[in-house]
A and B are shown apart, each in its own frame.
Chain A
Amino acid sequence: MTDANPAEMPQRSRVDHDAVTPRRGSRRRGRGEELQVPEAEFRSYYGRPIIKAPVWKNPDVPLYLFLGGLAATSSGLGALGGATDRPTLRRTGRLAAAAGAAGGTVFLIHDLHRPARFLHMLRVFKPTSPLSVGTWILSPFATLAAATAASEVTGLFRRAGDASGAVAAVIGPALGTYTAVLFSNTAVPTWHEAHRELPIVFAGSAAAAGGGMGLVGASVRDNVPAARLAVAGAVVELAAGEFMERKLGLLGDVYQKGRAHTLMRASKACLAAGAVGAVLGRRRRWSAALSGLALMAGSALTRFGVFDAGIASANDPAHIVVPQRERIRQRQATTGTEVAPPDRTFA
Chain B
Amino acid sequence: MTNLFGASGATGKLFDAFSGAATSLSGPLPDPSTDAGWSTEHPKRVGFFTDTSVCIGCKACEVACKEWNLVPDDGTDASDLYRLTGMSYDNTGDLGASTWRHVAFIEDVRPHGSATAAHGGPPSGVPVDAATGFLPTGLPAVTDGAPSSPTLRAPRDAATAPAPGETVDLLALLPDSGAHGQQTPDDERDVRWLMSSDVCKHCTHAGCLDVCPTGALFRTEFGTVVVQDDICNGCGYCVPSCPYGVIDVREDDGGAHKCTLCYDRLGAGMEPACAKACPTNSIQFGDLDELQAAADARLAELHGRGVTEARLYGRDPDDGVGGDGAFFLLLDEPEVYGMPPDPIVTTRDLPEMWRNAALTAVGLGAAVVAAFWGGRK
On A, residues with C-beta under 8 Å from B are: 1-4, 14-21, 23, 42-46, 48-56, 72-73, 76-77, 80, 84-86, 111-115, 117-118, 120-121, 123-132, 135, 169-170, 172-174, 176-178, 180-181, 184-188, 192, 195-196, 199-200, 202-203, 206-207, 210-211, 224-226, 228-229, 232-233, 310, 314, 317, 320-321, 324-325, 327-328, 340-347
Shortest CB-to-CB span from B170 to chain A, Å, is 15
Secondary structure at chain B's binding surface: helix, strand, loop or mixed?
loop
Shortest CB-to-CB span from B318 to chain A, Å, is 11
Shortest CB-to-CB span from B91 to chain A, Å, is 10
Give residues 264-300 of B contacting A (CB, 8 Å): none
Shortest CB-to-CB span from B357 to chain A, Å, is 5
B residues in contact with A346, CB < 8 Å: 119-120
In the complex the two chains form, is B338's CB within 8 Å of A1's CB? no
- The size of the chain B interface, using a CB distance under 8 A, is 106
On B, residues with C-beta under 8 Å from A are: 5-7, 10, 13-14, 17-18, 25, 75-80, 85-88, 93-94, 96, 104, 106-109, 116, 119-123, 126, 135, 178-179, 207, 210-216, 231-237, 239-249, 251, 254-255, 308-311, 332-333, 335-343, 346-347, 349-350, 352-354, 356-358, 360-365, 367-372, 375-377
Not counting A128-B211, A228-B371, a sample of 17 additional A-B residue pairs whose C-beta atoms are within 8 angstroms of each other reads A21-B80, A21-B93, A50-B339, A51-B340, A112-B234, A114-B232, A125-B10, A127-B18, A127-B354, A129-B237, A173-B368, A185-B347, A186-B346, A199-B356, A224-B371, A324-B340, A325-B341
In the complex the two chains form, is B340's CB within 8 Å of A320's CB? yes
CA distance A314 to B236 in the complex (A): 14
A residues in contact with B242, CB < 8 Å: 51-52, 187
Contacts A73-B368, A343-B120; A42 near B335 (Cβ below 8 A) = yes
Name 7 A/B residue pairs within 8 A (Cβ), A-sorted: A2-B79, A48-B94, A80-B369, A127-B354, A176-B364, A181-B354, A344-B120
Shortest CB-to-CB span from A228 to chain B, Å, is 4
CA distance A333 to B321 in the complex (A): 21
- The count of A-to-B residue pairs whose CB atoms sit within 8 angstroms is 335
Shortest CB-to-CB span from B31 to chain A, Å, is 18
Q: Which of A16, A123, A229 contacts B371 (CB 8 A)?
A: A229
Contacts A2-B75, A173-B361; A17 near B179 (Cβ below 8 A) = yes
CA distance A131 to B235 in the complex (A): 9
In the complex the two chains form, is B94's CB within 8 Å of A344's CB? no
CA distance A174 to B178 in the complex (A): 55
Contacts A187-B240, A325-B342, A343-B122; A80 near B332 (Cβ below 8 A) = no
Shortest CB-to-CB span from B69 to chain A, Å, is 19
B residues in contact with A207, CB < 8 Å: 364, 367-368
CA distance A19 to B216 in the complex (A): 37
In the complex the two chains form, is B371's CB within 8 Å of A128's CB? no
In the complex the two chains form, is B234's CB within 8 Å of A206's CB? no
